[in-house]
Structure 1
Amino acid sequence: MAKRSSTQESVALAFELLKRIPRSRKVTASELREQLESIGIKRDIRTIQRNLETLCEHFNITRDERGKPYGYSWNKSGEGLALPNLSSHEALLLSMAEDYLANLLPSSVMASLDGFFLEARYKLNPTDDNTKDRDWLKKVRVVSETQPLLAPTLDHDVFKSVSEALYNDRLLDVEYRNAQHAVRRAVVMPLGLAQQGCRMYLVCRFDGYDNERALAIHRITKATVSTFCFERPKGFRLSQYDADGRFGFGEGKKCRIVFCITKQAGYHLLETPLAENQTVEEFDEHYTIAATVIDSLRLKMWVKGFGCDVWNISYE
């Protein structure tokens, strides 16, 4: 039985190495070792080197021995494994996706995609035939509607544990610091992960409670994945949690807001309404806007942000 287990581990290691050997650039044994460690496979450098030597003998893989450390890649005439020859358009898509998926996919999944992202970045290195694709990255950008803030520092081990527990529906033992700087410990059911601006939140249920709360991940100082699984609440949906205004410090209750706003400050609300049932009365110098929205602290802060350009505000 031990021999079979050892054989399975050897095959799994070889397969993971094959997936990470690129076609259009060289990768070293040390780089491969780091990629494997990021998904929980720990091997010493000599073991990696021996496996690479074996793979070179049985697959169409070349080893560049012109300098140390040696570099490994698929022969250009070989088909490779799992890493197709990316077109420049595919490389462009992957490069853009990497920025936005970094914190929204389980760390193990992101690690398994490392080879694709590396290949995409290499494909977009300056060449004569990919200039327009490479320059596209300089021509598009997602911009903030509010004052830009630097992202808080996330503990890598904490985030890894959070995503692992969320992915596998396991209880999570957390130690966190609240807004009053008090340190608390709790066992929680991780139910969802959300990015709001530059901050990441874990939506969860505390052990013994039947309501959901959102914990800022940068305030979690320790996180340990439990061996115990839990059954996700059947009525919970992250999309509904968001629609109820919970990330805007609301409780899901709706209200009808009515206010007057100067034309200069309120014209954009004619183009981007507050709600489908929004109504607008136009006067010489202002609009009277009415709409049914989620009542929340974020709503009140948004209205307050217009200053003296808004008046006669009511929440019904």
Structure 2
Amino acid sequence: MARRSDTLETTRLAVEMLRRIPRGRKITAAELQRELEGAGLMRDVRSIQRQLDMLSQHFEIERDERSKPYGYRWLERARGLAVPHLTAQESLLLRLAEEHLRHLLPPRLMQSMDGFFAQARRNLGDGASARLERQWPRKVRLVATSQPLLPPRIRAGVLEEVSEALFANRWLELDYQNASGKRRPVRVMPLGLAQQGPRLYLVCRYDGFDNERSLALHRIRRAQASTLTFEPPPEFDLQRYDDDGRFGFGEGERVLLRFRIERGAGQHLLETPLSRDQQVQERGDWLQVRATVVDSAMLEWWLRGFGEAVQDVRRLPASEAAP
């Protein structure tokens, strides 16, 4: 019985290690040991090294011996731990996700999912039973709500270091160049990652400050995850940060917005309201709209996009608005 228990524990260790070996960047035995401890698997570094050496002989895992400690990673085109029995529906969902994300995410991030996407393509290409599923992607399409843009180029290694620091609650050293071209080194506490259209943004706090900022990943020229960890501030919530309009270039101020809009331009507001408390009065060829929203630059751009079809725009602080 003890032998069987040891075998199961060894198998579990191997599976957990294979799951944690990354693509695109390398991981050392010491780093892997810390991650395994978080999963309840306590092993010394030497044991981890022996397992890694064994796994690299039987799987498509590269061992970088140019310097110590050695680094390990899956080869770019390795199948890794692909699930062998994806259903047709699961494969279809992955195919749709691949098509949707193709022009939204950086190529290196898409490449990290290649093994899963390739398996989905193989599944949908095998057998007569998958015929209908193969037809489905040609029957659905995601259409843009604004002018489509290609994703900006993110420098090699930046996304990997940012993701590692964000996941492990580590301080992050950045070489950052802002929109006006000013470049300087900064030390930040990474708190969240958000995608807005084709761009990725890191929500963080600068060292020594207690307010959050959003940094565009494509403006980071270099990133290095520190070995020093931090405790995430309990008062920060990424959902609330978004709800406050911070990704829309606002400061979270809620206003009572009033405007009138030509019926043809504003008909969609009857179907997709600006807010839950939106009220619309129909007045001939015009609609009179009232709604409580977060004031932001994005809101201003949206209103200006209607040109002369929107008139009499008024904003009143929500706290001062009459019920």
TM range (shorter): 0.7 to 0.9
One-letter amino acid of the structure 1 residue matched with residue 134 of structure 2: R
Residue 87 of structure 1, CA deviation: 2.3
Tell me what 2:128 maps to: 128
Distance 1:5 1:131 in 2: 45
Q: Report SS of the residue matched to 1:130.
A: helix
**Which has the larger displacement, 82-91 or 163-172?**
82-91
Tell me what 1:188 maps to: 188
Structure-to-structure mapping, 1:52-131, within 5 angstroms: 83-98=83-98, 111=112, 115-125=115-125, 127-131=127-131
What percentage of residue pairs aligned between the two structures are identical? 45
Q: In structure 1, list runs of 5 or more residues that go unmatched.
A: 18-31, 46-71, 74-80
Tell me what 1:41 maps to: 72
Distance 1:272 1:211 in 2: 33
Residue 222 of structure 1, CA deviation: 0.2
Tell me what 2:296 maps to: 296
Query: 1:103-127, CA deviations, whole angstroms, 9 ceiling, x for partnerless residues?
Result: 88xx99x85x654333212112365
Distance 1:238 1:297 in 2: 20
One-letter amino acid of the structure 2 residue matched with residue 41 of structure 1: Y
Distance 1:156 1:137, change over 3 A: farther
- Between Structure 1 and Structure 2, how many residues are aligned? 263
Tell me what 1:219 maps to: 219
Q: Check conservation: 1:166, 1:190, Cα contact below 8 A.
A: yes
TM-score (normalizing by structure 2): 0.73
Residue 175 of structure 1, CA deviation: 0.7
Residue 170 of structure 1, CA deviation: 0.5
Residue 130 of structure 1, CA deviation: 1.7
Residue 284 of structure 1, CA deviation: 1.1
Distance 1:196 1:250 in 2: 15
Matched, 1:9 2:52: yes
Distance 1:157 1:100, change over 3 A: farther
Q: Report SS of the residue matched to 1:204.
A: strand
Tell me what 1:257 maps to: 257
CA RMSD of aligned residues (A): 3.2
One-letter amino acid of the structure 2 residue matched with residue 9 of structure 1: L
Query: 1:117-173, CA deviations, whole angstroms, 9 ceiling, x for partnerless residues?
Result: 332121123653322212212222222211111111112311111111111110100
Q: Check conservation: 2:82, 2:115, Cα contact below 8 A.
A: no
Distance 2:86 2:224 in 1: 38
Query: 1:269-309, CA deviations, whole angstroms, 9 ceiling, x for partnerless residues?
Result: 01111111111111111011001000111111111111001
Q: Report SS of the residue matched to 2:157.
A: helix
TM-score (normalizing by structure 1): 0.74
Q: In structure 2, list runs of 5 or more residues that go unmatched.
A: 1-43, 65-70, 317-323
Distance 1:42 1:309, change over 3 A: closer
**Which has the larger displacement, 293-302 or 141-150?**
141-150
Q: Report SS of the residue matched to 1:225.
A: strand
Structure-to-structure mapping, 1:259-298, within 5 angstroms: 259-298=259-298
Q: Check conservation: 2:100, 2:142, Cα contact below 8 A.
A: no
Q: Check conservation: 1:126, 1:134, Cα contact below 8 A.
A: no
Distance 1:120 1:210, change over 3 A: same
Q: Check conservation: 2:279, 2:289, Cα contact below 8 A.
A: yes
**Which has the larger displacement, 191-200 or 120-129?**
120-129
Q: Check conservation: 1:255, 1:295, Cα contact below 8 A.
A: yes
Q: Report SS of the residue matched to 2:128.
A: coil
Q: Check conservation: 2:174, 2:186, Cα contact below 8 A.
A: yes
Tell me what 2:243 maps to: 243
Distance 1:144 1:205, change over 3 A: same
Q: Check conservation: 2:55, 2:61, Cα contact below 8 A.
A: no
**Which has the larger displacement, 229-238 or 85-94?**
85-94
Q: Report SS of the residue matched to 1:90.
A: helix
Q: Check conservation: 2:194, 2:202, Cα contact below 8 A.
A: yes
Distance 1:6 1:164 in 2: 21
Q: Check conservation: 2:95, 2:120, Cα contact below 8 A.
A: yes
Q: Check conservation: 1:189, 1:206, Cα contact below 8 A.
A: yes
Distance 1:202 1:148 in 2: 22
**Which has the larger displacement, 87-96 or 214-223?**
87-96
Distance 1:159 1:249 in 2: 23
